[in-house]
Homo-oligomer: A and B are copies of this chain.
């Protein structure tokens, strides 16, 4: 089958599946939509962590051990900063990575849109598939947390990097999202009538996917695009493989299982891909009206990424086929 595959993604976990998709699809058939709720300005640079992780991963220059940043990185800038201004040194910026932030900041200041800058950077790293920021307008994820310091709102990176997700979350806001327009290219794509599948990558639903879904009108465009919407569960065996997904689910009063993921995305999803470790939830999930497939969603090797990508596409294609028979 051909057609456009639209993948919504955050950083590390989502980028793994996006890489798999990029290796099994022709480049013109893949549109990866990146969360920009994590973006922030720091040290005078405009930093887009999820976009960069996607570009580095698909460009084959990422540090695969840590999942973010560049391979063969050096840290002279960071060591210098730490020695001179340690308070500012909480967000790690490698010397090579820095040129990405430098180039983006300069281009934005010259009047380019984030979409244009992202396309330019992706080209730089030889990424043939399209990587799109979810919006050219700023959206900033803020978290209301409560700990021994009381109740307070924190900007995303402060919570995520500086405090390493320790304070329990009470509420989440995607500030600016009501005024933000979904990426124009994404809107065109979803209205083109040639979307093959919409894939919600196994990213953190609250921190990576919801900021995208919070854009006015986007949920409706996804539902009406004529293609199945399929999520890959970021929870396996009751745990998130990476990051604070399970911890946040508990803090928000959810069980950290696939059924909570299904409920969280209810009204949007046609299908859910779960890990074989969660096979026993298959029946309960399908009883709720959702189509479900169980496979190995844990991606260690490059082959794992490609296999999952193929599995997700096959599953979506089967859903589309079933729908068309109705």
Residues of A within 8 A of B (CB): 43-45, 73-74, 76-77, 79-81, 84-85, 94-96, 98-99, 102-103, 105-106, 109, 124
Contact = CB atoms under 8 A, between A and B. Distances in A.
Contact of A77 (B45, B84, B95, B109): B95
Given A43-B106, A44-B105, A99 B124 contact: no
7 contacts: A44-B105, A44-B106, A44-B109, A45-B102, A77-B99, A79-B96, A85-B103
Contacts of A79: 96
Nearest to A110: B44
A43 B102 contact: yes
A46 to B, nearest CB: 10
Contacts of A44: 44, 102, 105-106, 109
B84 A103 contact: yes
Given A84-B103, A102-B43, A96 B109 contact: no
Given A76-B74, A76-B76, A84 B99 contact: yes
Given A44-B105, A103-B85, A96 B76 contact: yes
Given A95-B77, A95-B95, A98-B98, A84 B124 contact: yes
A99 B74 contact: no
Nearest to A42: B106
B76 A94 contact: yes
Contacts of A94: 76
Which of A45, A79, A84, A94 has the most C-beta atoms of chain B within 10 angstroms of its own C-beta? Answer: A84
A103 B124 CA distance: 27
A82 to B, nearest CB: 10
Given A45-B102, A81-B102, A84-B124, 16 more contacts: A43-B102, A44-B106, A73-B76, A76-B76, A76-B96, A77-B77, A77-B99, A79-B96, A80-B95, A80-B99, A84-B103, A85-B103, A85-B124, A95-B95, A95-B98, A98-B98
